């Protein structure tokens, strides 16, 4: 498994046109484009419309929990790393 972290979500949208990650983990609060705007943009890409997205957030986690059409999981901060690993495994279908 590898991870990449382009400098902005706009750059990530460009990367999704060239590469196919297995999963995206994103933060809710970020400059330029928040996590739900990013998830909406990803869902609009034919090459990534079924890509699992995990949204992580502190105070805004409740907002993401009401957007199950955009994100596959919402993890509130602070979080337990074992919870993230379990969620990734579940979404990728691995044990």
Say if 26 falls within a structural domain. yes
pTM assigned to the model: 0.75
SS3 state of residue 9: helix
Domain harbouring 74, CATH code? 3.40.50.2300
Q: How many domains does the chain have?
A: 1
Report pLDDT digits (tens) over 10-43: 677 777 777 788 898 888 777 677 788 888 888 8
Q: Is residue 3 part of a domain?
A: no
4 lies in a domain? no
- Is 25 inside any structural domain? yes
Burial classification of residue 94, based on how many CB atoms lie within 10 Å of its CB (0-12 exposed, 13-18 middle, 19 or more buried): exposed
Q: Which of helix, strand or coil describes residue 18?
A: helix
Of the chain, the end-to-end C-alpha distance in Å amounts to: 14
pLDDT tens track for 73-82: 888 888 889 9
Q: Which domain holds residue 49?
A: 9-92
């Amino acid at each position: 498994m590898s991870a990449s972290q382009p400098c902005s979500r706009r750059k990530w949208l460009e990367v999704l046109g060239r590469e196919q990650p297995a999963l995206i983990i994103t933060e809710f609060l970020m400059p330029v484009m928040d996590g739900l705007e990013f998830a909406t943009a990803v869902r609009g890409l034919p090459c990534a419309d079924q890509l699992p997205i995990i949204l992580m957030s502190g105070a805004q986690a409740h907002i993401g929990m009401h957007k199950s059409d955009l994100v596959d999981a919402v993890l509130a901060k602070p979080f337990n790393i074992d919870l993230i690993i379990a969620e990734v495994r579940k979404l990728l279908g691995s044990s």
